[in-house]
Structure 1
Amino acid sequence: MNELIEKALHQAGDHSNVKSVKRAAGGSINKSYFVETDNRKYFIKYHPDAPDRFFELEAKGLALIRETNSIAVPEVYTYSDESNNACLVMEWVEGAASADTDWKLGERIAAMHQTFGEKHGFEDDTFIGTLPQTNGLFSSWLDYYRDRRLLFQLQLGIDRGRVTGKRRDRMETLLDNLDKWIPGDADPSYLHGDLWGGNWLSGPGGEPYVIDPSFLYGDRHFELAFTEVFGGYSSDFYRAYQEHFPLSPDYEDIKPLYQLYYLLVHLNMFGEAYGRSVDTILKRYAG
């Protein structure tokens, strides 16, 4: 591993002495390391069997978020998607939360969502976890969300035997009637795409940073709905967001349909532990 880390550092332009290499916390998909050289501190992620373009697309998502000038992201020094050598080399972000960190986070995410693309989706196919996510650019948010997000997970669930029987029937009924709830004309906000509570952290001065994006353009309510699935966000976050970019009055009606996508992802990745949550939503809208 030290040889791989040294190669990654050289690719990043750092040929100085390596002072420390330690395993770092972070995710279940990659091996993560804190690395300190005479020049600086790094966070390096390594995946021995990364899918094609895995780290390239993460780096691209971080760059797009950085372009909004809304919320901080770690600087990316280099990446590689070479077989058996896939890695991402970033700055080490170190800090502690301050009293207003959660408020800043809501404020910064609201600002990011006020940056807009021309269409919905994304020009590249991406990943959610290690699952592939087919994309494409669509004029209609409804068409993109139905055909590229929910339909893809439905087919994957059928292939893996996790969406069958009544669950499959209800899912197909929902897709046929999705236009009753999901807007076609939502604004295509810049979205992080995987904004669970483990994908933000506190940096210097309590400044919030976001990490590990699965970037897309889409309805901002899709992003907000996911923040409520697994927690990790305080009431200050939501109050700040609402103050700077008020949610649609029908958000509570649409929210479960946006959470459905992420629950299907977890059902297809991890199994039936997420089945009851999927079924509850399907019964509500297609029961």
Structure 2
Amino acid sequence: MDKRLAGQALYHAGDRSPIHVIQPVQGGSINRSFYLETDEGRYFLKSHPSSPEGFFHAEAQGLQVIRETNTIQVPEVFTYADQPGEAFILLEWIEGNASEQTERLLGKGIAEMHQSHTRLHGFHDHTFIGLLPQQNGLYENWVDYYKRSKLYTQYELGVQSGKISGRRRERMEKLMAEMERWIPLEVQASCLHGDLWGGNWITGPDGAPFVIDPSVLYGDRHFDLAFTEVFGGFSSDFYRAYEEVFPIEDYYHDIKPLYQLYYLLVHLNLFGDSYGSSVDTVLKRYTG
């Protein structure tokens, strides 16, 4: 990695001590990631040479929103920059071993985060899911936000790239036009992580769970829960602990595939038609 960029990040964070370790870290497929160690501390540095404008700002903002709920833990953000060619975020280094209680604590913490409510649905700033832009806004009800900001954003990207066309496009348009048939209108706007898959939580000191890489928003908490079931990574302990704090509503089982559709569309747009059949299965379920 460019040692100058590491030095720049540490300088902005107020650490001017010598760098002893710069070590690549395996993990996500989007950013270059490194472990840094100095006389003053240990850090996690992510950088991207061509990230979209505001990319790391969105991550820092999302972590702060979750931190302010005083529920589940997140890494501290020391500094970030979004300048072209030198975009980075410098975070607290989190390390620890899972205990028997870790996933129960994760379920409890997510449930408590979901009990942080606001009046409007959506988010006041644009965010990202992977490198894809997520156009946001604030809405009086969840159905309008989910339809217009979540699904329609991915629909537009898919149409532009040719991944959504023909019968798939017709079904998408029908689904969005009839969304109110399935999603309740009166849903509380909970604080959501927004990208809650198994790779976006880690274990810290004393087995405490931390969530990372949010695409934060306010909306139906079952939207977060639906994504936990797309790729796995959450044990039965997680769900039991969640339900002890905040029982899951009966309607969740009928709309879970509809919420998972958003993430399948994201993967369709990012990775191609290997996700097409999964998208089509959900569309057929609701539109015939």
TM normalised by structure 1 equals: 0.99
Mapped contact 1:143–1:184 kept (Cα < 8 A): no
Alignment of 1:278 with 2:279, yes or no, is yes
CA distance in 2, matches of 1:108, 1:17: 37
1:118: Cα distance to partner? 2.1
1:40 paired residue number: 41
CA distance in 2, matches of 1:117, 1:26: 33
1:63: Cα distance to partner? 0.5
2:224 paired residue number: 223
2:148 paired residue number: 147
Helix, strand or coil at the partner of 1:226:
helix
Q: Which amino acid aligns with 1:229?
A: V
1:98: Cα distance to partner? 0.4
Gaps of 5+ in 1: none
1:136 paired residue number: 137
Q: Which amino acid aligns with 1:94?
A: E
Matches within 5 A, 1:207-246: 207-246=208-247
2:81 paired residue number: 80
Q: Which amino acid aligns with 1:98?
A: S
Helix, strand or coil at the partner of 1:25:
coil
Cα distance per residue 1:74-103 (max 9 Å; x no partner): 011100111111100011001010011011
Cα distance per residue 1:96-130 (max 9 Å; x no partner): 10011011100000000000122100011111100
Q: Which amino acid aligns with 2:194?
A: G
Helix, strand or coil at the partner of 1:89:
strand
Percent of residue pairs bearing the same amino acid type? 58
CA distance in 1, matches of 2:89, 2:186: 36
CA distance in 2, matches of 1:198, 1:240: 20
CA distance in 2, matches of 1:82, 1:268: 26
CA distance in 1, matches of 2:52, 2:186: 33
CA distance in 2, matches of 1:192, 1:97: 21
Cα distance per residue 1:211-259 (max 9 Å; x no partner): 0001100100000000000100000001111111001111110100000
TM normalised by structure 2 equals: 0.98
Segments of 4+ moved more than 6 angstroms:
none
CA distance in 2, matches of 1:110, 1:8: 34
2:101 paired residue number: 100
Helix, strand or coil at the partner of 2:117:
coil
Q: Name the Cα RMSD after superposition.
A: 0.7
Cα distance per residue 1:10-61 (max 9 Å; x no partner): 0100000111110012211100000000000000000111111111110010
Helix, strand or coil at the partner of 2:45:
strand
CA distance in 2, matches of 1:177, 1:50: 35
1:183: Cα distance to partner? 1.9
1:184: Cα distance to partner? 2.2
1:156: Cα distance to partner? 1.2
CA distance in 2, matches of 1:138, 1:166: 30
Matches within 5 A, 1:10-89: 10-89=11-90
CA distance in 2, matches of 1:62, 1:255: 25
1:249 paired residue number: 250
1:115 paired residue number: 116
Helix, strand or coil at the partner of 1:247:
coil
Cα distance per residue 1:255-275 (max 9 Å; x no partner): 000000000010011100101
